[in-house]
């Protein structure tokens, strides 16, 4: 009896994530993306430990304005003599936080809407999807600008403004996955053993939609980071003196001829983040693709 009862523990399950990881690992570009992104993430988490905010980021040094990269200031200094390395490091925090927040917000809202529309179908589907279509029809940057202009600049509003533009994507992806799964036999089987609709959506359907959603998360995260910078660049996002890659670029633009390094480093930070996320997303897409399974 006792040996029987331990069967669940005796035969370890081979995790599905492990299989995905095996396939992911073979993709060199994706691994590169993963490493870069992990570094960026770690830097932003430990920004305070790495660079002291008060002395390195806020402190101005007029003797050393727009200094080229040197041993003391590896990325050089800006127009107030502040250390650009420190500002880039601390700037990552806001960009990543807002990117992540907007993704979470849109995933929750868009995903739920899409799942409900896809599962129940009919009129409800029509209603939800037409509203989503309206959002889709407005260019995302213009929508974000409008929202920021109306609500005023704050970190939370920024998340909202960027997140709203992702809602249609998540709703559409979720809906199409759910429709594909709604009529499968295993959903019918769950119904046959007496599962409620909510149980079916949560335990049968959602776990099987994760692959396309996961890929989309990396892609829209990248887009979110870019959007934060875009909005800050045009002065609607995070405004100076708080360091943010977009607003750093924006001010540096004026000194492009005299101090190109001021543009180069925040620009590189944005480009690297987006590149790494896109590589990561591509790798995930290949690793999760069930067609390559077997």
* Smaller CB separation from another protein, 16 or 239: 16
Q: Which stretch binds another protein (CB under 8 A): 11-19, 127-135, 147-155, 274-282?
A: 11-19
DSSP letters, 14-71, are: PPHHHHHHHHHHT-HHHHHHHHHHHHHHHHHHTHHHHS-IIIIII---GGGTTPPP-S
d(CA 7, CA 1): 10
Q: Which is nearer to another protein, 30 or 205 (CB)?
A: 205
Q: How far is CA 6 from the centre of its chain?
A: 41
Spatial neighbors of 30 by CB under 8 A, at least 6 apart, are: 24, 279, 280, 282, 283, 284, 286, 287
Angle, alpha carbons 68-72-73 (nearest 5°): 45
Is 195 a binder of another protein (CB under 8 A)? Answer: yes
- Choosing from 38, 68, 154, 199, the residue that interacts with another protein (CB under 8 A) is 199
Give whichever of 68 and 184 is closer to another protein, judged by the CB atom: 184
Residue 7 as a binder of another protein (CB under 8 A): the answer is yes
Sole binder of another protein in the list 21, 46, 156, 186 (CB under 8 A) = 186
State which residue, 137 or 193, has the beta carbon closest to another protein: 193
Give backbone dihedrals phi and psi of 165, rounded to 5 degrees, phi first: -70, -15
Q: Which of 35, 158, 187 is nearest to 99 (CA)?
A: 158
Q: How far is the CB of 241 from another protein (least distance, A)?
A: 49
Contact mark string toward another protein, 165..184, x via CB under 8 A: -------------------x
Please, which residue, 5 or 63, has the CB nearer to another protein? 5
- 49 near another protein (CB under 8 A): no
- Of the pair 58, 182, the CB lying nearest another protein is at 182
Q: Is 13 in the site for another protein (CB under 8 A)?
A: yes
Q: How far apart are CA 48 and CA 119, in angstroms?
A: 46
Q: What angle do CA 91, 274, 219 make, to 5 degrees?
A: 120
CA–CA separation, 136 vs 118, rounded Å? 18
202 binds another protein (CB under 8 A): no
Window 203-242: contact mask with another protein (x via CB under 8 A): -x--xx----------------------------------
- Taking CB under 8 A as the criterion, the residue among 17, 18, 49, 192 binding another protein is 192
Q: Can you tell me the distance from the alpha carbon of 27 to that of 279, in angstroms, rounded to the nearest whole number? A: 10
- Residue 189 makes contact with another protein by CB under 8 A: yes
Decide: is 8 part of the binding site for another protein (CB under 8 A): yes
Residue 152 is a binding residue for another protein (CB under 8 A): no
Binding site for another protein (CB under 8 A): 4-5, 7-8, 11-14, 16, 184-186, 188-196, 199, 204, 207-208, 290, 293
């Amino acid at each position: 009896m006792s040996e029987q009862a331990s069967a669940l523990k005796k035969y370890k399950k081979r995790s599905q994530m492990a299989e995905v990881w095996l396939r992911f690992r073979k993709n060199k570009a994706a691994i590169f993306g993963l490493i870069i992104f992990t570094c960026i993430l770690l830097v932003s988490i430990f920004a305070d430990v790495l660079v002291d905010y008060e002395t390195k980021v806020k402190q101005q040094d007029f003797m050393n304005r727009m200094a080229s990269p040197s041993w003391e200031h590896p990325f050089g200094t800006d127009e107030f003599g502040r250390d650009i390395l420190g500002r880039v490091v601390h700037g990552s925090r806001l960009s990543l936080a807002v990117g992540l927040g907007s993704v979470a917000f849109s995933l929750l809202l868009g995903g739920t809407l899409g799942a409900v529309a896809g599962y129940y179908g009919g009129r409800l589907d029509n209603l939800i999807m037409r509203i989503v279509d309206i959002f889709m029809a407005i260019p995302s940057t213009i929508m974000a600008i409008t929202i920021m202009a109306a609500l005023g600049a704050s970190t939370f509003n920024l998340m909202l403004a960027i997140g709203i533009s992702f809602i249609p994507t998540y709703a559409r992806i979720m809906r199409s996955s759910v429709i594909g799964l709604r009529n499968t036999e295993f959903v019918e089987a769950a119904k046959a053993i007496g599962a409620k609709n909510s149980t079916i959506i949560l335990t049968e359907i959602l776990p099987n939609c994760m692959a396309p959603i996961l890929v989309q998360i990396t892609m829209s995260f990248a887009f979110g980071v870019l959007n934060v910078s875009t909005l800050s660049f045009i002065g609607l996002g995070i405004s100076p003196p708080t360091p943010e890659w977009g607003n750093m670029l924006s001010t540096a633009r004026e000194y492009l001829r005299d101090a190109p390094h001021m543009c180069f480093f925040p620009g590189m930070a944005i480009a690297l983040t987006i590149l790494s996320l896109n590589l990561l997303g591509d790798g995930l897409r290949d690793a999760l693709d069930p067609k390559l399974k077997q």
